[in-house]
Chains A and B, each alone.
Chain A
Amino acid sequence: MIEAVALSKRYGSVKAVDGLSFTVPSGQVTGFLGPNGAGKSTTMRMILGLDAPSAGSVTVNGRPYTGYRRPLREVGALLDAKAVAGGRSSRNHLRWLALSNGIPTSRVDDVLRQVGLASAANKLVGGFSLGMAQRLGIAAALLGDPPVLMFDEPVNGLDPEGIAWIRSLLKALAAEGRTVLLSSHLMSEMALTADRLVIIGRGTLIAETTVAALIAEGTGNYIRVRSEAPDELKSLLLARGAKVETEADGALRVTGTTLDVVGGIARDRGLGLLELAAHQMSLEERYMELTADATEYATDTAPLAALTGK
Chain B
Amino acid sequence: MTVLSTTTIPSPAERSRGEFTDVVCAEFAKLRTVRSTYWTLLIAFASNIGFAALAAAVIAPKLSTHDRAQVDVVQLALAGIHLSQIAYGVLGALIITGEYGSGMIRTTFAVVPRRRTLLAAKALVFAAVALITSTVSTLLAYLTFLASLPANTLSGTSFSSSGVLRAVLGGGLYLTVLGLIGFGLGVVLRSSAGAIATLFGLLFVPPLLLDLLPGSWKTDVGPYIPMQAGEQIFVAVSHEAAALAPWTGFAAFCLYAVAALLGGFLLINRRDA
Contacts and interface: CB of A to CB of B under 8 A. Distances in A.
Interface stretch (B10-18, B165-173, B245-253): B10-18
Interface residues of B, number: 39
B272 A50 contact: yes
Nearest to B105: A83
**Which of the four size classes fits the interface of chain A?**
35 or more
Nearest to B272: A51
Interface stretch (B25-33, B137-145, B231-239): B25-33
A202 interface: no
Given A68-B113, A80-B106, A102-B22, A92 B33 contact: yes
Given A89-B33, A145-B5, A102 B17 contact: yes
B22 A142 contact: no
A89 B25 CA distance: 17
Contacts of B160: none
A89 B32 CA distance: 12
Interface string A69-112: 11111000101101111111100100111011111101100110
Contacts of A178: 1
Given A45-B273, A83-B107, A85-B98, 5 more contacts: A77-B110, A100-B26, A107-B9, A110-B7, A111-B4
Contacts of A70: 12, 19, 22
A92 B112 CA distance: 17
A69 B19 contact: yes
Given A68-B113, A83-B107, A96-B26, A102 B6 contact: no
19 contacts: A45-B106, A45-B273, A49-B113, A50-B106, A50-B109, A50-B273, A66-B114, A71-B113, A84-B102, A87-B35, A88-B30, A89-B33, A95-B33, A99-B25, A100-B25, A106-B7, A114-B4, A142-B4, A178-B1
Given A80-B103, A82-B103, A72 B3 contact: no
Nearest to A88: B33
Contacts of B26: 96-97, 99-100
B1 A176 contact: yes
A106 B25 CA distance: 15
Question: Top 10 nearest A-B pairs by Cβ distance?
Answer: A83-B103, A100-B26, A92-B33, A99-B26, A51-B272, A66-B113, A96-B29, A50-B273, A87-B34, A99-B25
Most chain A C-beta atoms within 10 Å of own C-beta, residue among B36, B110, B273: B110
Interface of B: 1-7, 9-10, 12, 15, 17, 19, 22-23, 25-27, 29-30, 33-36, 98-99, 102-104, 106-107, 109-114, 272-273
Given A51-B273, A85-B99, A97 B17 contact: no
Interface of A: 45, 48-52, 65-73, 77, 79-80, 82-89, 92, 95-97, 99-104, 106-107, 110-111, 114, 140, 142, 144-145, 147, 169, 172-173, 176-178
B30 to A, nearest CB: 5
Contacts of A65: 113
A145 B11 CA distance: 11
Contact of B110 (A48, A85, A106, A177): A48
Contacts of A48: 110
